Amino acid sequence: MIVSFETIEHIKKEKGPDFLERMRNLLKDDGTLVISCPNRDTYSKGYNENPYHLYEYSYPEILELLKKYFVVNETYCHKIRYFKKLPKNSPSS
C-alpha cells in the first residue's frame, strides 16, 4: 500500500502525471494507492490560497488523471466546516 496524503497539490501540474506514474511503478500488482488532495472547487472558496500549493485539482481533473494510471475503486470527500480549539487540559492534548 502507498499512502499519499495531501501531496500532489505541492507538485507542478505538468509533473502530476510523472508523480502518479512513479507511484504506479512502486506499487505491487495487487497493491492499493490511497491518495488525497484538496478539491479546488470547494477547498479554496472562502479560504486564503495556500502559497505552498502549486496546483489544486478539481474532482473531475484528479479523477481523470488517476484513471490513466490506476483502477479507481472508491472515492471519498471530506469537508471542514469549522475548527474548534480544545482546552489545554483536554485528555486528547
Q: Helices in the chain by DSSP H: which ranges? A: 16-26, 40-43, 59-67
What residues does each domain of the chain span?
2-67
pTM over 0.85: no
pLDDT in tens, 19-72: 999 999 999 999 999 999 988 887 666 566 788 999 999 889 999 999 999 998
CA angle, corner 16, sides to 62 and 22, nearest 5?
A: 110
Half-sphere exposure at residue 39, Cβ-oriented, CA atoms within 13 angstroms: 11
- Determine the Cα–Cα distance for residues 68 and 79; give it in Å rounded to an integer: 26
Q: Quote the cell numbers at residue 7.
A: 501531496
